[in-house]
Amino acid sequence: MAKNRTIPFGYCMKNGEITTEPKEIYAVSTIFSEYLNGSSLLQIAKQMESEEIRYSEDSEHWNKNMVKRIIENEKYLGTDKYPQIIDEDIFRRANEKRMRKATTLNLISEDLQEIRKVIYCTECGHRLSRIGGNSKYEHWDCRNPDCYKFEYRMTDQMIIGAVLNVLNSAIVNPSLLESGGEISTYSPTADIVRQQNEINRMIDSPQVDFDRIKAEIFKLAEMKYDCCTYNDSPQKTNEIKELLKGHEQLNTLDIGLFKACVARIWISHFCIIEVEFINGVTIKNTTERMNENEYSVECNDNSCENADS
């Protein structure tokens, strides 16, 4: 495996002091010049390889991250230890361009920012990544190395369209939101039964140790409390229904309503999008696999369905 450089590209150590490396100085200057002339980081990396310039002794291969590190390294402006290689104006212009590009690529809407917080891969549970920034080639994918990438392009419009379909279905048919189940349950364990029997035995004993029995009763009460579960799904269901009651059908995503009702969005590798509400109910929507530059969404059998049904 290639080792990381301890001295920045463009410099080397001679007689105990850091000095410039002529061939690497040429490469640094070329990188800044090509970047300002419009070449991408990846194109510059390929150019460095074609000119047989090594990034380090252990690596002859380049990637765009290596090029990016060189462009943003302020040591090329000169310090007490490092001689100057790049003019301040060239460095400033290159990094202003880099920042503008980064800002443009990462500028996505508030709606997508909120969606990105709650979108997961159905197969592995890993958060999905949105790739492409603000470009027209954006898509969502699973970056978990133990999982696998989507075989189709999942776009913003496909996800938003599916969420709209699910919310509109819940507005028209609130019964889809029914979670069922009791509000609270108590199921004694074998340990609780044994503890109760032990207390009964102690009470029936000819010589009653009241202090010990008291301590065991407190212990039993704690064990019973730990076995009690509270299900707030019915309460959450009523909250969602109140939010959606009388609501008009949505043509665009209401981000406030989305945040109040939706807990997670699950996307499978089989083109199925499931919207999980805050009460734990999931409603699924199957999207069509789109060819490039086509955007539309449809439900299974022209309707959404409760995944728990």
**Domain ranges in the chain?**
11-106, 110-179+233-306, 184-230
Taking residues 143-167, report their average pLDDT: 90
Rounded to 10°, the helix 64-71/41-50 angle is 100
Taking residues 23-27, report their average pLDDT: 94
| pTM (2 d.p.) | 0.50
Which residues face 20 on adjacent strands?
A: 11
pLDDT of residue 204: 87
Which residues face 131 on adjacent strands?
A: 139
Is 60 exceeded by the pLDDT of residue 284?
yes
pLDDT of residue 57: 78
C-alpha span between 71 and 135 (Å, rounded): 23
- Encode pLDDT of 75-97 as tens digits: 999 998 999 999 999 999 999 99
Residue 30's Cβ-count burial label (10 Å; 0-12, 13-18, 19+) is middle
pLDDT band at 286 (very low <50, low <70, confident <90, very high): low
**Could you tell me if 28 and 12 are in contact, meaning their C-beta atoms sit under 8 angstroms apart?**
no
C-alpha distances in Å from residue 65, one per residue of 47, 55, 104, 168, 215? 14, 12, 18, 44, 64
C-alpha distances in Å from residue 270, one per residue of 47, 112, 287? 39, 22, 9
> Residue 65 corresponds to which amino acid?
N
Rounded to 10°, the helix 190-204/210-227 angle is 160
Query: How many Cβ atoms from other residues are within 10 Å of residue 19's Cβ?
Result: 12
pLDDT band at 135 (very low <50, low <70, confident <90, very high): low
Residue 45's Cβ-count burial label (10 Å; 0-12, 13-18, 19+) is buried
Q: Are strands 184-186 and 17-20 parallel, antiparallel or unpaired?
A: unpaired
C-alpha span between 69 and 11 (Å, rounded): 14
Is 60 exceeded by the pLDDT of residue 213?
yes
pLDDT of residue 228: 73
What is the total residue count of the chain? 309
pLDDT of residue 92: 95
- Encode pLDDT of 217-238 as tens digits: 999 888 888 877 667 788 899 9
pLDDT of residue 159: 92
Taking residues 114-130, report their average pLDDT: 91
C-alpha span between 280 and 274 (Å, rounded): 12
C-alpha span between 115 and 109 (Å, rounded): 10
